[in-house]
Chains A and B, each alone.
Chain A
Amino acid sequence: MKLAVVGAGAVGRSVVRMAGEYGHTVTAVADSSGAAVDSDGLGAEAVLSRKSARGSVGAADPGEALAAEYDALVEATPTTLGDAEPGFSHVRRALDRDRHVVLANKGPVAERYGDVRRLEDESDGEVLFEATVAGAIPVLGTIADYGPAQVTAVRGVLNGTANFILSRMAAEGLDYEHVLAEAQDLGVAEADPAFDVEGTDAALKCVILANVLGDGSYTLADAEVSGIVDIPPSALSLAQEDGRTVRLVGEATPTGIRVGPRLVSMDSPLAVGGTENIVQLETTHAGSLALRGRGAGGDETASAVLADVARLDR
């Protein structure tokens, strides 16, 4: 397949680097200031080294990537809330041209799921978004295989940064600020960690899951969200004395979304450590099912993007 990649952050760059190995050709790449386009295929090394040396993937106007020849648009620009722009317009542009869209950007399916589905209905193109929920973990593919109607609830640990902080606090008896600083030094937490530690990122993933399971009308505003900022080490040690621990757990059902710190047994599958993620599906006929693995990272998330591309290619 010919791919146009919009957004050249960690995920976009990994898609460009890995696409050839998966048998695909990248015909266009754009970042916020430039683009490189070649309908015969771009060399990944050339594009990526230009990006690291000069800050942009190419000299062309970013809009040219959207007008380029491609079968699927990989939308990997940063997640934005509210109108989900400019990601949403990129989706519209591709669907108007009857092209497929693979999203790594959560905004369009978390904030404007209904709009995305309406545009998809009018197009010959399809929209897939495995990479938006739990990185490399094939949650949406599994739900699609079981049938969304057979999945009654999804719950999980969906934010590696928050999980790293909680598990370090519990293991070392350190306070939140201390562990956050350590996580920032390690590159596990962003300079502005609000999105992760206040539960917003996990909530967006749950909103997407609830949209897939339910009628597709949810946005972030419908989620009941609380984060981990106010959890003191004393709470974690009380939990530990009792064979339990605290995890930031997200729950999505066809009727709602809830994210917050929850008490789980230390031997629960949900008590994953470090930056690991886990997702549990409750199914009508098959009990519960758990998938765990890496929920973030450029190559990990790009592998989910390329799994979607493979689904479109079938």
Chain B
Amino acid sequence: MSAVADVAETRRTYTVRLELVDEPGELMRALRPVAENGGNLLSVFHERGNLTPRGNIPVEVDLECSPGRFDDIVAGLRDAGVTVTQAGEDGYAEEVTLLLVGHLVDTDLSDTLATVESCSGASVADFSLDAPAGTDEQSSARLRLAVDPPQVSEVLSVVRDVADRKGLQVVEPLVEGER
């Protein structure tokens, strides 16, 4: 049995900077339009204690949505009375998430990360390591890279090369519509 279904458009990652009044419930209220307009929250960086010139709290929101929905999300935020200071292309970098599996620690993890960061237009935005049995066994890591969109395939090939050299396995993201 099979069915023909519509396939979601490619989802992209966007960064939106907001200014919130320091009141209870304000953050929840500000984030609601993201989900209501089909966005998926990736991370929220709430800089409490660091006020904007207007006396508000700056919040940086990473979210994922199809390019067609991004304008709706920004409009939804503004309709809800949220101050959006920066959105879309200005803060835009393609986020590429991938996994590395193998003897990550024994093969000089910081060198591996430095090699990836040495690519032009790429930086490691987030890194998580799971080494269940200490350093002797295989471990896994998740890397979230912020990459200039035209550099994505170049950066992935650098990751593949360093992994090959160190006997690591890369679980690459599937960029739909690509290749």
Contacts and interface: CB of A to CB of B under 8 A. Distances in A.
A143 interface: no
B55 to A, nearest CB: 34
Interface stretch (B15-23, B93-101, B147-155): B93-101
A270 B174 contact: yes
A246 B177 contact: no
A239 interface: yes
Interface stretch (A16-24, A75-83, A97-105, A228-236): A228-236
B130 A238 contact: yes
A138 B1 CA distance: 9
Given A234-B130, A270-B174, A138 B2 contact: yes
B128 A137 contact: no
B132 interface: yes
A57 to B, nearest CB: 29
B3 A263 contact: no
Contacts of B46: none
Given A238-B130, A243-B40, A267 B1 contact: no
Contacts, number: 105
B171 A231 contact: yes
Contact of A263 (B2, B6, B172, B179): B172
B7 A291 contact: no
A59 B172 CA distance: 53
Given A238-B140, A238-B142, A288 B2 contact: no
A251 interface: yes
B99 A293 contact: no
B141 interface: yes
Interface in A133-156: 136-138, 153, 155
B3 A234 contact: no
Contacts of A233: 132
Contacts of A232: 101, 132, 138, 140
A287 interface: yes
B108 to A, nearest CB: 19
- DSSP majority for the B interface? strand
Interface residue range, chain B: 20 to 34
A290 interface: yes
Contacts of A137: 2
A52 B5 CA distance: 40
B140 A234 contact: yes
Contacts of A261: 171
B174 A293 contact: no
B28 interface: no
Contacts of A153: 179
A309 to B, nearest CB: 18
A235 B4 contact: no
B173 interface: yes
A262 B142 contact: no
Nearest to A249: B174
20 contacts: A155-B174, A233-B132, A234-B132, A234-B139, A234-B140, A235-B99, A235-B101, A238-B99, A238-B128, A238-B130, A239-B99, A262-B171, A263-B97, A267-B40, A288-B176, A289-B4, A290-B4, A290-B6, A292-B3, A294-B1
Given A230-B169, A262-B171, A268-B8, 4 more contacts: A235-B171, A241-B142, A265-B64, A290-B6
Interface of A: 136-138, 153, 155, 226, 230-235, 237-239, 241-244, 246-247, 249, 251, 253, 260-265, 267-270, 280, 282, 287-294
